[in-house]
Structure 1
């Protein structure tokens, strides 16, 4: 499937022109996302969590473990960067996690907090098997800075981090920063869950969303912070040289999503990573 076909031609053009000439700077790109929210140009907003994440939380407890620490009984902490209106934040909370959503666009945060107050939330996001609900909090902040720690109890370490339409929204020059930051924020026994999207989109068509591949995730997370090499078509070169760095992440599971949003149907994969 051509994922660009899910967006209207007008929305695709607005996304392209909004970001194509911006430098690889989080704040400048944040302004672009804020303007799109103001203009109600949000083709990425599906009004619900991805079914692939719903299925992951229901079927991958053997990998992710429980939502509470077995020794202390404390709720595990989840970070969802680029959370938009916070559907995934609410879903994690319904499974018993203390869930924190982060977005750089004030308009997205405002809408997320409004959504969280709607009376239908408990019905739309029923509690999981243990019948407990964690806190769900969405706040304004820059993923690449530490200021948002004030909203997470002063802690910058998380048991689960979830990435969906976040890496693909970043300019390729910022990808090594993304990997380094993921490694820094993920707790020693934590898990990074990546819903890999959009797979199958040619990188040369630009973005956002920028096309991603399985080797891209592997190379970025193997040696966080280091540059990866691309061929002339924009695909990452699958280099086998170099061992996983001490602060690198290794993949513990990957599968094709049986259910997902229409934009990634038939192609989306979910991968789970942990510290080497």
Structure 2
């Protein structure tokens, strides 16, 4: 049975500070990926963004076309206060699976692992549909399986290759060499191009 965690579930997690996935800043793999992009006009989506540290980092480093999406309004409101110059129209309070638009780049940071694994095929199809031709889905996945019922939900590289390979022929999923210390050895870096 699909376990779709709703806005109320995530809002409560944020209000009660049960956000163990949130490291308080943009993580190194995403920062270093963004640092090597010189075309700052690319249209970027960060789904399930939560406190949106990656969005703040991108925006403060010249990416003005960044869109932040979350099912819970609570972290979006907090983000707006912490990054007041960020355009309000680029804060999207929606269900990812109902969102319609096109992007050049989608950043994955702790969203995939927050979804019940039964939604993973739907996630891949939706990501593919949201990308422009030549657009990329880039980010970090957990490359370990957890011994408890998530979220977060982990997985194996081989399974991810099969899953993302259903829609993306240009695909790389490799061990992450620049994870933050607590996550070293447990993350995979994903690059999938439409």
TM-score bin (small chain): 0.7 to 0.9
Structure 1 unpaired stretches of 5+ = 1-21, 69-74, 119-133, 150-155, 224-247
Q: Which has the higher strand share?
A: 2
Aligned residue pairs: how many? 192
Cα distance in 1 between the residues matched to 2:128 and 2:25: 28
By how many angstroms is 1:254 displaced?
A: 4.3
Give the TM-score taking structure 2 as reference length: 0.87
Residue 111 in structure 1 maps to residue 54 in structure 2: no
After superposition, the C-alpha distances for 1:215-260 in whole angstroms (9 at most, x for unaligned) are: 232222222xxxxxxxxxxxxxxxxxxxxxxxx2134444433332
Are 1:98 and 1:135, in contact at CA under 8 Å, matched by a contact in 2?
no
Mapping of residues 13-32 of structure 1, within 5 Å: 23-25=2-4, 28-32=5-9
After superposition, the C-alpha distances for 1:54-88 in whole angstroms (9 at most, x for unaligned) are: 122234x4xxxx425xxxxxx21000001111111
Mapping of residues 121-140 of structure 1, within 5 Å: 137-140=90-93
Which of 41, 45, 54 is equivalent to 1:88? Answer: 54
CA RMSD of aligned residues (A): 2.3
Are 2:109 and 2:140, in contact at CA under 8 Å, matched by a contact in 1?
yes
Structure 2 unpaired stretches of 5+ = none
SS class of match (1:45): coil
Residue 268 in structure 1 maps to residue 187 in structure 2: yes
Cα distance in 1 between the residues matched to 2:51 and 2:125: 25
Partner of 1:17: none
Cα distance in 1 between the residues matched to 2:177 and 2:82: 27
By how many angstroms is 1:176 displaced?
A: 1.1
After superposition, the C-alpha distances for 1:5-46 in whole angstroms (9 at most, x for unaligned) are: xxxxxxxxxxxxxxxxx9533xx4332111111222211221
Give the TM-score taking structure 1 as reference length: 0.63
